A and B are shown apart, each in its own frame.
Chain A
Amino acid sequence: MARINIDGEQNVEVSKPVPSEKTPQQQLAIMEAYTEAHKNSAHLDKAQREINCLKTIFPVLFRSIGEDDLIAGRLDFLPIGFGSVTSIGGVGHYCVFHKLRAFKEQLTTEEEKARVDALYDYWQEHDVKSIYCQDVLNDTTTGRFIDCNYPFMATARLSGMMLNYKKLMKYGINGLIELINRQGDNAFLTSSAEALALLKTVIDRQIELVEEKLTTAQGQRQKDLQLMKDDLAVIREDVPHTFHQALQLFWIYALCAGVINYGRMDDVLGPYLKDDIDAGRIDEEEAYRYLKSLWKMIENRRTTVNGRIIVGGKGREHAEAADLFARICLRVCKDTRYVEPQFTLRFSSDTPQDIMDMAYDCIGSGATYPTLYNDDVNIPAVEYAMRVDQKTAQQYVPFGCGEFVIQGQSVGTPNTMLNLLKIFDMTLHEGADSFDGIKKNGPVHVKPLSEFHTFDDLYEQYKKLLDYYFDISVQAQSYSYEVMNKEVSFLFTSILMDDCITRKKALLDGGVKILGGTNETYGNINTSDALYAIKTLVYEQKKYTLEQLVEAADHDFAGYEYIQKDLLDAPKYGNDHTACDELANDLYEFVAKGIRQRGIDAGMGYYLIVISNNQTNTDWGHKTAASLDGRKSGLYMNPANNPQGGAAKSGPTAVLNSLSRFDAKYHGGSVQNIKFTPRMFQKDREKIKYLFQTYFAKGGCQLMVTVVDHGILEDAQKHPENYPDLIVRVAGYSAVFVNLTKDIQEELMSRELYD
């Protein structure tokens, strides 16, 4: 096949990034310097090459201190550079081609444009993701993320890294350098030490930037800036002693590591907060100001689906201090109403009632946060799913749209995605995707419809095709690590991930304790609903033949409206219908266990499905043919683990009963949305609490709640100007409703609203 070109959207981007402070010419010069360093270091070890490249972007890419920032550190990213994730910049040594093309349009002279072209050409051969895609993508089964023409998408990225910040706090920068030096001097270790020296340079630059602001500041602002300057000087050389110092050290490190999910910051920062308050150094209001500033800085990174701050739950060393931190975060979250951070509460039967009440108040205010994670279910589930002990499982953290990793200990990036509904459509068309007629069944022989004499014949055929896709999934996931490892060390990330330093190895080079991974599955409920409709209408009631149903779907039900009506009227998941839900569960277990076992067989720490969602259910739905749950061609697919919009007609208890049916121990994260009117959520608060408590007691692992009134979403569509801060939960992320595209808005509106 022709050379793969991965120019195009690489991630879901609803929030628009803050533009760079630098002029286009300055940006071009930085990208050229980066490219030069990359070229000139080609003969060096990957770790040395990485540090040489990093020196061309740090500290120069840091921007000036924001007007009301209380901690230092704002970082730009360019179409070329170094990163971990597609949400900010790209992966490893990256070039985001469509952004580079857009950048070119900002330049005026032909000479400058030609320089951009030269960069474009160079990176076509060297962009880490392109290297991966070149080897993995093909014309039929496997597309790049996001190319929805394929039943399977694969990508190289390092999403969801949540570092061991306790280690950072314990050792400080100098302590870490010593620790590394004591280990010896291989290229990884020396480059890691250099990275930490570079971090000091970054801090020096922050001090300069603060000083710039200090020249004109007065009153309280002057005091704030002085504190920032003093504390930057402290953390440059010493471990943090105060809450503000700890916050500053964490933040500046996270920026350099390119991570966009932060994790259990309550247990990291809580003790500093408590000490400060106990000693009378600050009061809670001062801490509130710092955290509000942090919230704003996280929001300003605009990663759309990330920015996880997680509080609460089991396995914290400093629960009391951490809860103090959590309470202030809950206030900040309620007051700011930002779409990021994705503020997350882990809770269990031990969680203080006032924290639960504050959480419900925050949700009731329409913030969509915190999202709720049930430790009583998730910890034992993670223990089984990832094959780790309880102590390790207690450190589970959801990132991005809801995938779990173990903080500081595991990689769990979702580099593979499957469209279960497309694969089912192929099962009904002898391997061809009826959306475009292309055969995508690989080496699997798919029988014609006439040979499916029983429901089991059909179901078995589908499972065979799925098995093939599971095989290529695990290969693609493993290979993404291989390619990334060949190219980069992810130095900053490795330093704070167990056990890279003691093993003297980079993250993907055998350094990380648990090398896991996740596979996002889509269209799971559409498929099980379609299977159930076929089972009843064709094989039990014999009202139609399978051929008749497929013919109707092939015509997108035009002229076959009665068949579509019967398909739509068939029982649907989300209504607590035992047989229908059992089939959904059967499919879930087949997929989840199939993926999990392949991870074990491939020698990975874990490889698990996630039933999370960004907006890919809608995007992929646009390229998926009409399905036998009655869904029209091109329509969105069901969101995450929820029923298809409009299918849940039996009230919230029914939908929660259906949702709690899937055993959490086979997946690596599954998210569920529910919507209430403010009237119900506020007036019937006690009953809502019982509703949630019961759902969680029945095995519900997670819940995220949007509180919005009748007609508001409809009105916001017509008059977006009136709703600048109307926040909704899309699936694994929250967004300002009016910033979403119309198709995503429609999918949200199709979901049941409980009143």
Chain B
Amino acid sequence: MINICNIERFATHDGPGIRTVVFFQGCPLRCPWCANPESQIIQAHLLYDHKKCVGCQVCEQHCPTKAIQFTDHRFTWDRSLCIHCKACEQACLHHAISFAGEQRSIDDIMEEIRKDKDYYRSSHGGVTISGGEAFMQFPQLMELLKKLKEEDLHVTIETCGQFPSEYLEQAYPYIDLFYFDIKHVDDDIYRSTVKGNRKQVQRNMEYLTRKDPDKIVFRVPVIPGFNYDDKTLNAIIDLAKQHHVKEVHFLPYHTLGKVKYEKMLQDYTWSPTMMKEEELEKYKPYALSQGITLKIGG
């Protein structure tokens, strides 16, 4: 069984052609701007929509572990008590409660994936594994990768690169394309902001570029207040060139994930202002001069 957050069909921005994306649960990083915060922990997370809630408290009555309580008419959820029975979700007639994350068998996931095989074939598309960070569930990931290759499907993986290098060696033969996050070039800023170890990311990136630089694309979430400055972004382009990577994607900062924080009863701490794609056009000439194809928005 794999803990997944979602399976998205007809995804058009996560690799070549028409794709199905399998979003794994669980991530080692804690980027404060994360657009999929519900996928950070491996277990399912309750999402509460206060706009739909009518305050009837039926969910509280149906919760067998008292994980849900209304205090001062305010909905609260205690994750440590929740057993994910989803009685609350079923009890709510107003669709105010849902859960992000479920366990699904690999066969079940494969069945879903197969449904669009004709579309992958005609468009040279395939399957993208995303998250979260799929390497967090490494044994399950391997099992899924093998199944995908048995069926000769093109596999792209979107990864932050934060996992042991031996995992990468094992998974490498089953993956056709890596969308590899390069969030920053500075170890300290990386550690203090996203709570990760950039050296490990660097090692994995170097492994991949040594093997075949054409199978890796750098993906850079451009985040104001973190990496949105000429020095950092040009340095990432330089890094690509240094490792013979030919394609880099700058993904402009957006706040589309903000509503999820509200539903998770958490505060969103990063900037409320979205970036426009055009803002990043200015990096294209430099990238071009370095022989790098820079795409804005992926």
- Contact across chains for A690 and B115 when beta carbons are under 8 A apart: no
Interface residue from B9, B93, B119 paired with A690 (Cβ < 8 Å): B119
Which size bracket describes the interface of B in this complex?
10 to 19
Residues of A within 8 A of B118 (CB): 694, 697-698
Binds A, one of B10-18, B157-165, B191-199: B10-18
Contact A651 B17 (CB under 8 A): no
Chain A residues whose CB sits within 8 angstroms of the CB of B116 once the complex forms: 653, 657
27 A-B pairs with C-beta separation under 8 A? A562-B93, A565-B90, A651-B10, A652-B10, A653-B18, A653-B115, A653-B116, A653-B119, A654-B115, A657-B115, A680-B12, A684-B12, A686-B123, A687-B17, A687-B18, A687-B123, A687-B125, A690-B125, A691-B18, A691-B119, A691-B123, A693-B122, A694-B18, A694-B118, A694-B119, A694-B122, A697-B118
* Cβ of B78 under 8 Å from chain A: no
Q: How many residues of A contact B (CB 8 A)?
A: 21
- CB-CB under 8 A from A654, the residues of chain B are 9, 115
Check: B8 CB closer than 8 A to any chain A CB. Answer: yes
Report if A690-B8 is in contact (Cβ < 8 Å); known contacts: A565-B93, A653-B116, A657-B115: no
B115 to chain A: which residues have CB within 8 Å? 576, 653-654, 657
Assess whether B10 is in contact with A690, with CB atoms less than 8 Å apart: no
For A698, what are the chain B residues with a Cβ–Cβ distance below 8 Å? 118
Chain B contacts with A in 231-251, Cβ cutoff 8 A: none
CB distance from A694 to the nearest CB of B (A): 5
Interface string of B110-135 (1 = CB under 8 A from A): 00000110110111010000000000
In the complex, whether A349 has a CB less than 8 A from a CB of chain B is no
Q: Give the contacts of B155-176 with A (CB-CB under 8 A).
A: none
Which 6 pairs between the two chains have the least Cβ-Cβ distance? A690-B123, A651-B9, A651-B10, A684-B12, A694-B122, A653-B10
Q: A residues within 8 Å of B by Cβ?
A: 561-562, 565, 576, 650-654, 657, 680, 684, 686-687, 690-691, 693-694, 697-698, 754
A47: min CB distance to chain B, Å: 55
Least CB distance, B7 to chain A, in whole angstroms: 9
User: A651 to chain B: closest CB distance in Å?
Assistant: 4
Hey, which chain A residues are within 8 Å of B122, CB to CB?
Answer: 690, 693-694, 697
CB nearest neighbor in B for A660: B118
Q: Which one of B8, B90, B115 has the greatest number of beta carbons of chain A within 10 Å?
A: B115
The smallest C-beta distance from B283 to any residue of chain A, in angstroms, reads 20
Asked whether B123 lies within 8 Å of A694 as measured between CB atoms, the reply is yes
Contacts of B8 in A (CB 8 A): 651
In Å, the complex CA distance between A754 and B10 comes to: 10
Q: How far is A652 from B123 in the complex, measured between Cα atoms in Å?
A: 15
Interface residues of B in 203-260 (CB under 8 A from A): none
Which residues in B have their C-beta under 8 angstroms from that of A680?
Answer: 12
Residues of chain B within 8 A (CB-CB) of A686 are 123
Distance in angstroms from B3 CB to nearest chain A CB is: 21
Distance in angstroms between the alpha carbons of A651 and B93 in the assembled complex: 24
Interchain CA distance A754-B8 in the complex, whole Å: 13
Question: Known: A561-B93, A690-B123, A694-B122. Is A653-B17 also a contact (CB below 8 A)?
Answer: no
Residues of A within 8 A of B18 (CB): 653, 687, 690-691, 694
Taking the nearest CB of chain B, how far is it from the CB of A508, in angstroms? Answer: 45
A690 to B12, CA, bound (A): 11
Given the complex of chains A and B, what is the CA–CA distance between A686 and B122 in angstroms? 11
Interface contacts beyond A561-B93, A690-B122, A697-B118: sample of 6 additional A-B pairs, CB < 8 Å, sorted by A: A576-B115, A653-B9, A653-B10, A653-B119, A654-B115, A657-B116
Q: How far is the CA of A694 from the CA of B12 in the complex (A)?
A: 15
Report the separation of the CA atoms of residues A653 and B11 in the bound assembly, to the nearest whole angstrom.
Answer: 10
Q: Which residues of chain B are near A693, meaning CB under 8 Å? A: 122
Q: How far is the CA of A103 from the CA of B116 in the complex (A)?
A: 57
Q: How far is the CA of A697 from the CA of B123 in the complex (A)?
A: 13
Chain B neighbourhood of A697, CB < 8 A:
118, 122
Of the listed residues B8, B12, B93, the one surrounded by the most CB atoms of chain A closer than 10 A to its CB is B12
Q: Which residues of A contact B93 (CB under 8 A)?
A: 561-562, 565
Chain B nearest CB: distance from A295 CB in Å? 34
CA distance A698 to B115 in the complex (A): 12
Q: How far is the CA of A561 from the CA of B56 in the complex (A)?
A: 14
Task: Compute how far the CA of A686 lies from the CA of B123 in the bound complex, rounded to whole angstroms.
Answer: 9
Q: How many Å from the CB of B265 to the closest CB on chain A?
A: 24
Question: Shortest beta-carbon distance, B173 to chain A, in Å?
Answer: 28
Give min CB distance, A601 to chain B, whole Å.
38
CA distance A687 to B122 in the complex (A): 10
> A739 vs B17: C-alpha distance in the bound complex, in angstroms?
39
Residues of A with C-beta under 8 A to B125: 687, 690
Q: How far is the CA of A565 from the CA of B119 in the complex (A)?
A: 33
Within 8 Å by CB of B9, from A561, A562, A565, A650, lies A650
How far, in Å, is A377 (CB) from chain B's closest CB?
Answer: 15
Bound complex: CA A754 to CA B11 (Å): 11
What separation, in Å, do the CA atoms of A687 and B116 have in the docked complex?
Answer: 13
Determine the chain A residues whose CB is within 8 A of the CB of B10 once the complex forms: 651-653, 691, 754
Q: Which residues of B contact A562 (CB under 8 A)?
A: 93
Q: How far is the CA of A654 from the CA of B115 in the complex (A)?
A: 8
Bound complex: CA of A607 vs CA of B133, how far in Å? 57
Among A561, A652, A694, max chain B CB count under 10 A is at A694
* Minimum distance in angstroms from B27 CB to a CB of chain A: 24
Chain A residues contacting B17 (CB-CB under 8 Å) are 687, 690
Q: Which residue of A is nearest B115, CB measured?
A: A576
Chain A's closest residue to B92 (CB) is A565
A576 to B9 Cα, complex, angstroms: 11
Per-position binary interface string of chain B over residues 58-69, scored 1 when its CB falls under 8 Å from any chain A CB and 0 otherwise = 000000000000
Measured CB to CB, the nearest residue on chain B to A568 is B95
Chain B: which residue is nearest A564 at the CB level? Answer: B93
Nearest chain B residue, comparing its CB with the CB of A689 = B123
CA distance A576 to B90 in the complex (A): 24
Give A651 to B21 CA distance when docked, in angstroms.
12
Bound together, the chains give a CA A650 to CA B18 distance in angstroms of 14
A690 to B230, CA, bound (A): 38
A-contact 0/1 string along B82-94, CB 8 Å cutoff:
0000000010010
Q: Complex Cα distance A691/B118, Å? A: 9
Give the residue name and chain of the A residue nearest to B16 (CB): A687
Q: Report chain A residues within 8 Å CB of B12.
A: 680, 684, 687
Q: Which residues of A contact B121 (CB under 8 A)?
A: 694
A574 CB to nearest B CB, Å: 13
**Complex formed: what's the CA distance from A654 to B113 in Å?**
11
A653–B10 Cα gap in the complex (Å)? 6
A686 to B12, CA, bound (A): 10
Chain A: minimal CB distance from B259 (Å) = 15
Query: What distance in Å separates the Cβ of B156 from its nearest Cβ neighbour in chain A?
Result: 15
CA distance A654 to B125 in the complex (A): 16
Most chain B CB neighbours (cut-off 10 Å) among A561, A651, A680, A693: A651
Nearest CB of chain B from residue A752's CB, rounded to whole Å: 12
Residues of B within 8 A of A754 (CB): 10
Could you tell me the distance in whole angstroms from the C-beta of A728 to the nearest C-beta in chain B? 22
**Closest residue on chain A to residue B11 by CB atoms:** A651
- Digitize B1-32: 1 where CB-to-A-CB distance is under 8 Å, 0 elsewhere: 00000001110100001100000000000000
Complex CA gap A651/B8 in Å reads 8
Q: How far is the CA of A132 from the CA of B90 in the complex (A)?
A: 53
Bound together, the chains give a CA A650 to CA B115 distance in angstroms of 11
* Complex contacts, B123 vs chain A, CB 8 Å: 686-687, 690-691, 694
**A422–B122 Cα gap in the complex (Å)?**
41
Q: Give the Cβ gap from B254 to chain A, nearest Cβ, in Å.
A: 14
Which residues from B are CB-within-8-Å of A651?
Answer: 8-10
In the complex, how many angstroms separate the beta carbon of A513 from the nearest chain B beta carbon?
Answer: 39
In this complex, what residue of B is CB-closest to A686?
A: B123
- Taking the closest CB of chain B, its distance from the CB of A495, in whole angstroms, is 47
Q: In the complex, how many angstroms separate the beta carbon of A650 from the nearest chain B beta carbon?
A: 6
Residues of B within 8 A of A691 (CB): 10, 18, 119, 123
Chain A residues contacting B90 (CB-CB under 8 Å) are 565
